[in-house]
Amino acid sequence: MNCAWQQYLALLPTWLREPVDKLGKEDLEEVRLRLGLPAELVLHTGAVRLKRKISKEDLSFSINVASSYSPWAATSLEKGYVTAKGGHRIGVCGTAVIKNGEMRGIRNISSLCIRVSRNFPGISQAAEQIQGSVLIIGSPGTGKTTLLRDLIMQQAIKFNGNISVVDEREEIFPKNGDFFCFPPAAGVDVLSGCTKISGITTLLRVMSPQMIAVDEITSPDDCDALLQAGWCGVKLLATAHAANRDELFTRPIYKPILETKLFDSLIIMHSDKTWHSERMNICY
């Protein structure tokens, strides 16, 4: 297992670093900071609440450190998150700033969810036989991105071709400055920080990929982007939020990609972070 642990600790207020390091180095999933309430450490074994309450300065500190004291540069704040060095994602809640009917940022921050990004090389070994385009589904926090990252690495080695990754949230291959925290295999090109629709269009034009990987299909735009990439000789690897096959087929947002049989195989993540694969049989 690889994890940029020191970079994770740096995101936390100084008083919180020691208890988090002591209690959660091995199995911490996330730290939740809520204004005026005790800090909560979510471990694999359950949640632990510390005594000290979170102040406004604590929340401001984490956001500032995560964005290198440049919250204005973190355009992802418009979508409610900031990805820090090491790939650790901070989910942000507060009061939305709306301009022209669109969310432009968040002020009066009231809570943060700081997730640990970990890399488990080899977890996708059992998926070696899966053919064609693959959709990974699971509830939040079940390890979809971790599996996707390993699957990309495995495919890059097996495939011996070009795999392009649109890493919108910079979570699949997070960077530390100019370098990747979890270096991708040879043959993997990563386009970070741009939307899936523009990223996929760019990659199709300029990188001649044989496979395109994206994380978290959550909007109709994301589905459109995948439809654009399908049937032009490019295989797809993607993740989506759905606990099981039924939920996936019930969500209207995924209808276009399921109806068009864009994916050949489905990998379903379980809450204990194990997974199994199925053939994608569409019954529309």
**Cβ 108 to other proteins shortest distance, Å:** 10
**Cβ 99 to other proteins shortest distance, Å:** 9
Do 229 and 214 contact (CB within 8 A), yes or no?
A: no
Question: Which H or E element spans position 27?
Answer: none
> From residue 207 to residue 246, what is the string marking binding to other proteins with x (rule CB under 8 A)?
----------------------------------------
Is 179 among the residues that bind other proteins (CB under 8 A)?
no
Do 275 and 123 contact (CB within 8 A), yes or no?
A: no
Is 70 among the residues that bind other proteins (CB under 8 A)?
yes
Q: Which residue has the tokens 């009917």?
A: 101
Strands annotated E in the chain = 2-3, 28-34, 38-43, 46-53, 81-83, 89-99, 102-115, 118-119, 134-138, 163-167, 175-176, 179-180, 188-192, 211-217, 235-241, 265-269, 275-279
> From residue 22 to residue 61, what is the string marking binding to other proteins with x (rule CB under 8 A)?
-----------------------------------xx-xx
d(CA 243, CA 245): 7
**Cβ 82 to other proteins shortest distance, Å:** 11
What is the identity of the amino acid at 226?
L
Nearer to other proteins, 39 or 106 (CB): 106
> From residue 78 to residue 117, what is the string marking binding to other proteins with x (rule CB under 8 A)?
-------------------x------xxxx----------
Q: Select the span of 21-29, 71-79, 167-175, 231-239 touching other proteins (CB under 8 A).
A: 71-79
- Tokens standing for residue 219: 């909007």
Q: Which residue has the tokens 């901070």?
A: 90
Nearer to other proteins, 89 or 235 (CB): 89
Give the footprint of other proteins on this chain (CB under 8 A).
10, 14, 57-58, 60-61, 64-65, 67-73, 75, 77, 97, 104-107
